[in-house]
Chain A
Amino acid sequence: MKEHDENRMKNLLKLAVPPVGGEAEPGRDLWPDTLRRLDARPARVPWFDLALAAGLLGLVAAFPASIPVLLYYL
């Protein structure tokens, strides 16, 4: 009886889990999906980042001598 239950369990598991074939790679090209996902992402920039960018541009405009120094560190 016990052995019968084990065999039954094995069969149930085999039915529940599909067999893994030899082909591990996807059957289609995934790159177009990646590109679509990147394009679909809304390009919303938070106001905080806009304020920081404006402050940075303001400082650079007020002190142009800082431009070569900042470029030096990029």
Chain B
Amino acid sequence: MNTHPYLRAYLAGVFVPTVVLPLLLTFVVIRLVHQVPIPVEQALIFPMAVVPLLWGLWNMLWLWHSPRTHLPIGLHGAVLPLLLMPIGATLASCVGMLAIGDRGVTWFQVAHVPYTLIAPMFLAALVGYYLVWKYVVGFLNRVLGIA
């Protein structure tokens, strides 16, 4: 199965964000049902459009460079938050879903994250991405015959 390997890499890459998306839509449903005055759907632009696209492209990039660099897919995936976090924070800030305060940042007008927690949360994102890329995206790449 040597045809269209980059297309298969893209599809394997977008799998996880596509599965997570319905979970995020539950926040929209909760807002509509309980009439919560927080427009969370504005923040969904990023996880709906940008994240799946970058995951797919990131997996295509891994397929392109892995024969030369032999970089494990988990480590390759763990680098992605370094790109995603600034983009996501900028977009969230533009639509009013991220407010920067004196003692921390407030996400979605309710989730207050003190500055002391930002570094552990960033590490948590790296760890989460490492594990998901290693075990889920790596598995899908094997199943699709590109790893």
| CB pair A52 B130 closer than 8 Å | yes
Q: Is B33 an interface residue (CB 8 A)?
A: no
| CB pair B131 A56 closer than 8 Å | yes
Interface-located stretch among B5-13, B60-68, B108-116: B108-116
Q: Is A47 an interface residue (CB 8 A)?
A: no
| CB pair A49 B134 closer than 8 Å | yes
- Give the contact-size bracket for chain B: 35 or more
A73-B85 in contact given A63-B117, A65-B113 (Cβ < 8 Å) = yes
| CB pair B131 A71 closer than 8 Å | no
| CB pair B124 A60 closer than 8 Å | yes
Cβ-defined partner of A69 (8 Å) among B16, B107, B132, B142: B107
A70-B124 in contact given A34-B145, A38-B143, A65-B111 (Cβ < 8 Å) = yes
- Which B residues fall within an 8 A CB radius of A? 16-17, 20, 23-24, 27, 43, 46-47, 51, 81, 84-85, 88, 92, 107-108, 111-113, 117, 120-121, 124-125, 127-128, 130-132, 134-135, 142-143, 145
- Which A residues fall within an 8 A CB radius of B? 34, 38, 45, 49, 52-53, 55-56, 59-60, 63, 65-66, 68-74
